[in-house]
Structure 1
Amino acid sequence: MTTFQPSALGLTLFFLLLTISNVSEGQKKKQDASGLNDRYQQIMDMSSKRTVIKLNANRYRELVRTSPRNYSVVVMFTALSPKRQCAICKHALDEYTIVANSFRYQQMFTNQLFFALVDFDEAQDVFQQLKLNTAPVIMHFPAKGKPKKTDTMDIQRVGFAAEAVARWVGEQTEIQVIKLNIGSHYLPLFGYHIPIHRSVC
């Protein structure tokens, strides 16, 4: 019976390749972490200036679709230019902005969720990529994994009022916008009554 013993050279090459592989993996993790920190800081800076962040195609790909991410983004895809003749787009944006503003100034505010806006005239290729042929559309992009069917808000069924958007955001993210700035009355949100004050900032 013949047996083969690994040579010293073979063992040396094996451990050398293993070391190179570990170093490369470590460098990739460092690069991913660095990229994540850069993206997070960038979206934080943008959010500090506007509660609804305006994204062009490049910013959308960088901040919303690039992995890894440690934050979720709710995006309204819209067509605000008068030439697009979207009669409801401005009204829908007003309602969406109420939710974003209310979220920013509530006690349960977290830096793990951001609200953004992508306009057709600044990101036509994004609309084509997502196969969007109507506006407005509101989608949730979770921190991990791809968006599911439920991550697209069914505006045809529930409408786009701030109350509906807030409920849907809570369902998708488990982060509840519990106080909306919408009129002097009480509205049942998430199973209990809360004071609402309508105001568009």
Structure 2
Amino acid sequence: MKLLTAITAALLPFTTFAAKKSSTDRFDTFRAKTAPFKLDDASYGKLTNAPRDYAVAVLLTALKPQFGCQLCRDFEPEWELLAKSWTKGDKRGESRLLFGTLDFVDGKGTFQSLQLTTAPVMLLFHPTTGPNAKQETAPARLDFTMG
């Protein structure tokens, strides 16, 4: 019985490690979705978490009419076209770039943590590992309301 307990205790760290998804697994999971895929706070965190061997472009937007973001509604079709065109042209995923959209309704926590009061904003997360990794871990930010 003690031997069984010792073996179980010895294998526990390996099962925990195996349960975590690798960066490549996350890339493949999100790549299988139609781009740009809709995000919420949880999926945004999973997608942008380091380490990443891929880049992520995320549009933070507020599309509901009650927010009065005409620029968000005007930009949405262009974002959709860009994401679909890029993905279609990169069928094998060689660019290692994913596109996602986080609407304020689904991502209030993320908007608050980033202290965003305007939209649309695009964040580009560079890879943190691999041949294209950047030392800077903060995403590049494009704020369309600032010009």
TM-score range, shorter chain: 0.7 to 0.9
**Residues 70, 62 of structure 1: alpha-carbon distance in 2 compared, 3 angstrom cutoff:** same
In the alignment, the residues of structure 2 paired with residue 33 and residue 67 of structure 1 have an alpha-carbon distance, to the nearest angstrom, of 17
Note the alpha carbon deviations across 1:166-199, whole angstroms, 9 max, x for none: xxxxxxxxxxxxxxxxxxxxxxxxxxxxxxxxxx
Describe the SS at the equivalent of 2:50: coil
**Residues 81, 107 of structure 1: alpha-carbon distance in 2 compared, 3 angstrom cutoff:** closer
**Residues 107, 143 of structure 1: alpha-carbon distance in 2 compared, 3 angstrom cutoff:** closer
The Cα shift of 1:33 comes to 9.1
Which residue number corresponds to residue 188 of structure 1? none
Describe the SS at the equivalent of 1:122: coil
Tell me the amino acid that sits aligned with residue 146 of structure 1. Answer: T
Which residue number corresponds to residue 177 of structure 1? none
Describe the SS at the equivalent of 1:118: strand
Identity rate, percent? 28
2:71 maps to 1:84:
no
The one of 115, 138, 141 aligned to 1:147: 138
Conserved in 1, the CA contact under 8 Å of 2:120 and 2:143?
no
Describe the SS at the equivalent of 1:54: strand
The one of 121, 132, 149 aligned to 2:116: 132
Structure with greater proportional helix content: 1
2:75 maps to 1:59:
no
Describe the SS at the equivalent of 2:38: strand
Structure 2 residue runs of 5 or longer lacking an equivalent are 1-9, 129-135
Question: Normalising by the residue count of structure 2, what TM-score does the alignment of the two structures yield?
Answer: 0.73
Describe the SS at the equivalent of 1:62: helix
Which deviates further from its counterpart, 96-105 or 131-140? 96-105
Structure 1 residue runs of 5 or longer lacking an equivalent are 1-22, 158-201
In the alignment, the residues of structure 2 paired with residue 45 and residue 39 of structure 1 have an alpha-carbon distance, to the nearest angstrom, of 10
- Greater relative contact order, per chain length (Cα 8 Å cut-off, separation 6+): 2
Describe the SS at the equivalent of 1:138: strand
In the alignment, the residues of structure 2 paired with residue 70 and residue 33 of structure 1 have an alpha-carbon distance, to the nearest angstrom, of 19
Conserved in 2, the CA contact under 8 Å of 1:32 and 1:68?
no
**Residues 133, 104 of structure 1: alpha-carbon distance in 2 compared, 3 angstrom cutoff:** same
Aligned residues: 127
The one of 5, 14, 17 aligned to 1:31: 17
* Rg larger for: 1
Question: Normalising by the residue count of structure 1, what TM-score does the alignment of the two structures yield?
Answer: 0.55
In the alignment, the residues of structure 1 paired with residue 27 and residue 85 of structure 2 have an alpha-carbon distance, to the nearest angstrom, of 21
In the alignment, the residues of structure 1 paired with residue 112 and residue 120 of structure 2 have an alpha-carbon distance, to the nearest angstrom, of 14
In the alignment, the residues of structure 2 paired with residue 107 and residue 63 of structure 1 have an alpha-carbon distance, to the nearest angstrom, of 19
2:87 maps to 1:104:
yes
In the alignment, the residues of structure 1 paired with residue 101 and residue 88 of structure 2 have an alpha-carbon distance, to the nearest angstrom, of 19
